[in-house]
Structures are given as structure tokens and as C-alpha cells.
Structure 1
Amino acid sequence: MPTQAVDDLIHILLVEDSPTDVMITREAFDYYKLLNPLHVAGDGVAAMEFLRREGQHSDAPRPGLIILDLNLPKKSGREVLQELKADPDLMKIPVVVLTTSKSEEDVARTYGLHANCYITKPVDFTRFVEVVRRISDFWFGVVTLPPARS
């Protein structure tokens, strides 16, 4: 099986304010040898700046997948999702909501805002790492993603 150059890999934007969850996600990438470049935004405002290539993110790559927490400072994950799905340049980027909420209202509202899937974060390290692997397997092994726009 031919290997892909790192430049050809799909970039991932992780929008997560928990340093622990960011660390665990990075460890899962390392453990499963996932080569996809992982970029992190620690709040909703930073996420939109990254996606719109504003300020310090002027040369940011266009992610092919966004992993989004709902409970974020400055701008909630719901607000981020609503903004990016209303933006013609960003709306096609798939969004995986990965959050601690199990609320039926959050699930329904998130899908109503056009999230591509909703996953409740496991609190157990081993299960969390497994969820990251399954996200990668599905989105990069099964699904055909739209081409990233530069």
C-alpha cells in the first residue's frame, strides 16, 4: 500500500478548550500513528479566526474535518457550527461534534445546525482514545470528503 506524503493528508481542526482532552487526542494520534496534521483552537473565536484565516492564522490550511466541542469560552460550539454552516466557503467542511453532553436537546439542536455527527466524549482514557481512532477510521478510511479549498 503506497504511503501518502504528509502534505497530501487532510488537516483536522480540533476546537477544544480542555488541555487534557487536547493532550489525550494528540496521544491517540501518536498511538495509532495517525499522520493527519492536527491544529487546535482553544475557543470559538479562535476557531473562526483559523477557519477564516484572520490575524495570526492568515496562512492556516483549510481543514478537511473539524472536531468541535460544544462548551467553549468566548463563542460556544453551537455558535461556531451555526456560523460555519452559514458561510459558503466553510459550509462543506464536515463537523464531528465531540462533547460531554448527552442531552437530547443538544443532540437535536446540533443536527439542526447541520453537524455531520454527534459523539459523546467518554470519560475513560482508553475509550476516549478508541473514539479518536474510530473517527479517523470512518472519516479517512470510509468516507469520501469534499476537496479542501485553499
Structure 2
Amino acid sequence: MDSNPSASGREVEILLVEDNPGDARLVKEALADAHIVNTLHVVTDREEALDFINQRDEFTDAPKPDIVLLDWYLLRSTGEAILRAMKSDSELCHIPVIVLTGSETGADLIDTSEIRANAYLTKPVGPDDFIALVRSFEFFWLTVVRSPPEL
């Protein structure tokens, strides 16, 4: 993986794991106006997320994501199951995972450092604030941050 795909001029592959259609739409809208060329892939549950990341079943031709935006509270599972699976796999553990949560305090994410989430973002209630959050994510994670080279 490039240390920063956008810096190399290639399209950034973003996987959004989100079961709320309204939140998924807001992320799509914000990234559509992004200054960085990206492709947003959306899945809605743990099974689809793990199939996409591992390029299985209907996702055999899916690209490996450069970054994962992971809703922590999914209807049939939690984001923790996805995060644990990714970070325990030597082929996937290098992919940055940003946890999205509705929690104001992040207390529910106290163990994310133990399971190596790269960061978490609190989802704002208002659509304008949500779009601003996605744009700040885009700037920081896709423009500023440089990942160390893989060993």
C-alpha cells in the first residue's frame, strides 16, 4: 500500500461500513465533492464487510480498501467484530480503520486502542455538521497522514 494513495495520484478506495442509509448518503455526498479522487464502497453489515475486505463471494473483484470507515453500532453486530478480524489478519492489519460512533464521550470505545482502531469520530446529528466532519476526515486522513511503509 502506498504511504498515501492520494499523494501518488491514484484513486483512494474507501470502504464505508454503515447500516444507516441517511448517514451513508451524507458520507457519499461529502466525498463526491472531495478534492481527492476516491471511490466509496458501502456495505451494511459484518458479513459484507469481511467479504469485501477479503475479496470473497460477490466481492471477488473488489479492490482492497485504502481506509475503512466503520460504524461501531451495526444492527446485527458491532464494529468491534470487524475491527478484531481485520487487525488480527496479517494481510489486513495495515489498513487504517476509523470508527464512527454516535457516542459523545467515546467511553463505549475505551477498548479500541487494545484492538487498534486508528481513530474514532463522533457522528454529529445535523447534516451540515456531518458533512463538515467527513470533509475534515478527508483532509486529515487522505491528505495529511502518511502511513509508514509496510515491513
Residue 97 (structure 1) aligned with residue 99 (structure 2): yes
Aligned residue number for residue 63 of structure 1: 65
Q: Map Cα deviations across residues 101-140 of structure 1 (whole Å, 9 max, x no partner).
A: 2354322112221000011100111110011001110111
In 2, Cα distance between the equivalents of 1:147 and 1:60? Answer: 23
Cα contact 2:10–2:37 (8 A) shared by 1: no
Aligned residue number for residue 3 of structure 2: none
Cα contact 2:34–2:138 (8 A) shared by 1: no
- Count residues with an aligned counterpart: 143
Residue 44 (structure 1) aligned with residue 33 (structure 2): no
Q: Map Cα deviations across residues 40-63 of structure 1 (whole Å, 9 max, x no partner).
A: 111111100100111000011011
Higher relative contact order (CA 8 A, sep 6+): 2
Q: Which amino acid aligns with 1:137?
A: F
Q: Say which of 110, 113, 116 aligns to 1:114.
A: 116
Q: TM-score, normalised by structure 2?
A: 0.87
Alignment CA distance shift 1:109-1:73 (3 Å): same
Q: TM-score, normalised by structure 1?
A: 0.87
In 2, Cα distance between the equivalents of 1:87 and 1:32? Answer: 31
Runs of 4+ in 1 over 4 A off after TM superposition: none
Displacement, 1:33?
4.9
In 2, Cα distance between the equivalents of 1:17 and 1:69? Answer: 8
Cα contact 2:13–2:65 (8 A) shared by 1: yes
Secondary structure of 2:47's partner?
Answer: helix
Displacement, 1:147?
6.8
- The gaps in structure 1 that reach 5 residues or longer are none
Residue identity (%): 38
Cα contact 1:92–1:146 (8 A) shared by 2: no
Secondary structure of 1:11's partner?
Answer: strand
Cα contact 1:45–1:74 (8 A) shared by 2: no
- The gaps in structure 2 that reach 5 residues or longer are 1-5
Alignment CA distance shift 1:147-1:56 (3 Å): farther
When structure 1 is superposed on structure 2, of 137-146 and 38-47 the one drifting more is: 137-146
Displacement, 1:32?
3.5
Instruction: Tell me the C-alpha RMSD between the 2 structures.
Output: 1.9
Q: Say which of 104, 125, 128 aligns to 1:126.
A: 128
As a proportion of its length, which structure holds more helix? 1
Q: Map Cα deviations across residues 30-86 of structure 1 (whole Å, 9 max, x no partner).
A: 234542100011111110010011100001101110000011133320111011100
